[in-house]
Structure formats: structure tokens, C-alpha cells
Amino acid sequence: MSKHVLAVYFTQSGQTKEILDSFLQPLLAEGVQVDFLEVKTRHQFSFPWSIPVFFDTVPESVDVIPTALEPWSVPRQQYDLVILAWQPWNLSPSIPINSILQDEAFKALIKGTPLVTICGCRNMWINAQEKNKKLLQEAGAQLVGNIALFDRHPNHLSYFTIFHWLGTGRKDRKWGIFPKPGVAQDDIAHAAVFGATVNRFLQAGNWQGLQPELVGQKAVVVKYSLMYIERKAGKIFKKWVAIINKHPQNRKKILVAYKYYLAVALLIASPIILLVDLILVRPFSQRKIRRQMDYYASVEWREKI
């Protein structure tokens, strides 16, 4: 009997859909019936993005506040697997993704259903996936797998190239010298390998052991330096949003200050903090660090880590 899969996605630039299509190739080749649900919101998140408009999404994405969705429907009431192709915004799920995960009809659809998340991002996805895990648990879905594709270039370089891509809509080399932004085409094509792995478990109807196998295939890689920065930055982002929520009349001015703070923190402060951590903390915290990295690579969700 043929398996039925629902592929849910939101995309602006088209990269997320490209990753999803690559991932699905082995499933489609084996005769899996795939239905697609593109998440559409009433408020249009246009692409390319101007920098002020991009930063204006910070409060709602960090606080996981949903926005109104366009009406949606799918052909079936139950699926053997749901695949959620998503992207992080501001160390959180993008607003369209958090919106569909909080939609009551969608929550009813995925309740008790195996679900695999797959994202394309600049390089930081851990905090956002933790929020996804919580939303999925609240919906009663069974998270069985996670895949994270990211820009492999150094953090400082990708910071500049991502804003070039957002601002121009072009996935090319800034000034002809910077690397191309986004997930590399080879990595997008390689997503088919992970799709084949997921399909094997789908056909067997047994999801036990899927995520450890995906981790072994490097479908998800937790880098200590990025994990460390994310854990610190996630708390700081919440403080900035708290200030905005307390002074909504000054939202635009605060977001401008936040934009410059973020640049200084990422480009200047974070290398210094990482160096101090490397000398004074990391050598004495190896077991704790390994536990944290193993947890973030897993599909488990805990309130406190």
C-alpha cells in the first residue's frame, strides 16, 4: 500500500522549496504519494527585503506570535508522515511557520503523526528548532527526524552575504568577491540522501533510530561555537524584545539601535567571548558540552537543558 506524505513549507527566495524538492526525490521515485501545503499569510513577507522591514519582524518572531493565515486545505485527513520545511528568523521559527504550527486545524491534522523538520539557514538554527519542538509537542505531533542545512562559510562572511541576498534578491557574490550566500547547491542536492534514509523508515513504518542515523550522515551538525553564541544571544534577543514591548511607541528607534548592537556583538564581541570561553571554560566543561550538543542534535524536547 502506498504511503501518503504531506510536505508543508514556506519560502520567500525559493531556497526552502528547492531543498524540499531535493529531499523528496527518493520518496517520489518509490511511489510515495506527496501532497504539498504552501503556507501563505495574509500579511505578505515580500522578497527581496529591505533591512528595516526585515528587522521589524524581530519582536513577533522572537515571541513566537502568529499572524493570520490565508485559508488552506489538504486532500487527506491523515498522513503517514508530515515534512515541515522551514527557516529561522531571529533565532526563532519564521512567523509563517510559527503561525501554521499554532493553527488549530493544522494542530489537529498533525496530532499523533510522525513529522520530520528540514531547514535551510545561514548557520544558527538551534534556538528556533527548540521553539519548533515545543510547538510540535503542544500539538501532539511525533517529531521523529530533524535535518538542518546551512551556509558553510565563516560566520562573519555569511553575515554580510545574507543581507546582500535579502536586500537584492540575488544569490550571487557581493561585489564579485564575497562567497555566494545561502545553502550551497551541492548541499541542496545532497538532501536527497537524507530523503532516502527517511523513506526507508517510512516504508518500514518504524521510526526508532531515524534521528541517530541522520546524525551519523551529518544531516544535522551542532557546532560548539555557534551553539554557545546562540545560547547567549537567545537571552539577549528576549531582553531587546521586552524593551520594545514596554515602549511600543519607540519600536522603530529601538530596532535601529538593536541592528547596530547586533552587528557589534557578532563581529567584535563574539570572537572575544569565544576566546575567553576557549581558555577559561571549555576545557573544564567537556561532559556538559557533549550532553548539550547531543541533546540539540536529537528530536527530544526538554523545558530546561
Residue 73: closest CA among 31, 40, 44 = 40
Residue 305 domain-assigned (yes or no) = no
pLDDT at 87 over 90: yes
CATH number, domain at 146? Answer: 3.40.50.360
Q: What is the tens place of the pLDDT at every residue in 42-56?
A: 999 989 988 889 999
Residue 181 domain-assigned (yes or no) = yes
Q: Indicate if 90 and 114 belong to the same structural domain.
A: yes
Residue 70 domain-assigned (yes or no) = yes
Last residue of a domain, one of 222, 250, 278: 222
Residue 81 domain-assigned (yes or no) = yes
Question: Which grid coordinates are listed for 9?
Answer: 513549507
What is the reported pLDDT for 147? 98
Q: Indicate if 136 and 269 belong to the same structural domain.
A: no
For the chain, what is the mean pLDDT?
94
Q: Indicate if 186 and 233 belong to the same structural domain.
A: no
Around Cβ 156, how many Cβ atoms within 10 Å? 11
Phi, psi of 89 (to 5 degrees): -125, 125
pLDDT at 283 over 90: no
Range of the domain at 232: 226-292
Q: Indicate if 216 and 237 belong to the same structural domain.
A: no
Last residue of a domain, one of 163, 194, 222: 222
pLDDT at 176 over 90: no
Residue 301 domain-assigned (yes or no) = no
Q: Indicate if 181 and 280 belong to the same structural domain.
A: no
Q: Summarize the chain as % helix, strand, coil (round to 5).
A: 55, 15, 30
Residues of the chain above pLDDT 90, percent: 79
Residue 246 domain-assigned (yes or no) = yes
Q: Indicate if 279 and 161 belong to the same structural domain.
A: no
What is the reported pLDDT for 84? 98
3-state helix/strand/coil string of 141-166 = CEEEEEEEEECCCCHHHHHHHHHHHH
What is the reported pLDDT for 174? 81
Q: Indicate if 124 and 68 belong to the same structural domain.
A: yes
What is the reported pLDDT for 175? 81
Q: What is the tens place of the pLDDT at every residue in 184-215?
A: 999 999 999 999 999 999 999 999 999 999 99
pLDDT at 37 over 90: yes
Q: Indicate if 50 and 136 belong to the same structural domain.
A: yes
Query: How sure is the predictor about 82, in pLDDT bands with cuts at 50, 70 and 90?
Result: very high
Q: Indicate if 214 and 164 belong to the same structural domain.
A: yes
Q: Indicate if 146 and 164 belong to the same structural domain.
A: yes
What is the reported pLDDT for 278? 87
Q: Indicate if 25 and 174 belong to the same structural domain.
A: yes
Q: What is the mean pLDDT of residues 71-83?
A: 97
Last residue of a domain, one of 222, 238, 269: 222
What is the reported pLDDT for 90? 94
Residue 298 domain-assigned (yes or no) = no
Contact between 8 and 100 under an 8 Å Cβ cutoff? The reply is yes
Q: Indicate if 142 and 253 belong to the same structural domain.
A: no
Residue 78 domain-assigned (yes or no) = yes
Least confident segment among 95-104, 152-161, 185-194, 225-234: 152-161
Contact between 31 and 1 under an 8 Å Cβ cutoff? The reply is no
Domain count of the fold of the chain: 2
